[in-house]
Amino acid sequence: MLVCTENRPDWWNTLPEDFVERCNYISLNDWQLSSDADALRLAYCHKFGSDLIEHRIAKHSWKRADICCNEIPGHHSLIDIGSGLGEFVNLYAKINPGCQVSSVDVADFDLWFDHTNRIERIYSDVLDLGDEHVREVVTCFQVLEHIRKEYLPDVIKKLFSLARKKLYVSVPFMEPMPIYRGHFSRFEAADIIEMFPTAKYTMIEKIRTNGHPAWMWILCEIKRG
Checking if the pLDDT of 150 tops 90, the result is yes
Give the pLDDT confidence of 59-73 residue by residue, as tens digits: 999 999 999 999 998
Span 26-48, average pLDDT:
96
Number of domains in the chain: 1
Min mean pLDDT across 97-101, 149-153, 158-162, 174-178 is at 174-178
Name every residue whose Cβ is closer than 8 Å to that of residue 207 and which is 6 or more positions away in sequence: 27, 28, 29, 213, 214
In a domain, 3, yes or no: no
Element (H, E) at 208: none
Give the pLDDT confidence of 68-126 residue by residue, as tens digits: 999 998 899 999 999 999 999 999 999 999 899 999 999 999 999 999 999 999 999 99
In a domain, 1, yes or no: no
pTM, 2 dp: 0.92
In a domain, 149, yes or no: yes
Better-predicted residue by pLDDT, 182 or 209: 182
pLDDT value of position 4: 47
165: containing domain:
10-223
d(CA 48, CA 57): 11
CATH number for the domain harbouring residue 139: 3.40.50.150
pLDDT value of position 3: 44
Provide the sign of the torsion angle of the four alpha carbons 176, 181, 182, 186, taken in this order. Answer: positive
In a domain, 29, yes or no: yes
pLDDT value of position 73: 87
In a domain, 4, yes or no: no
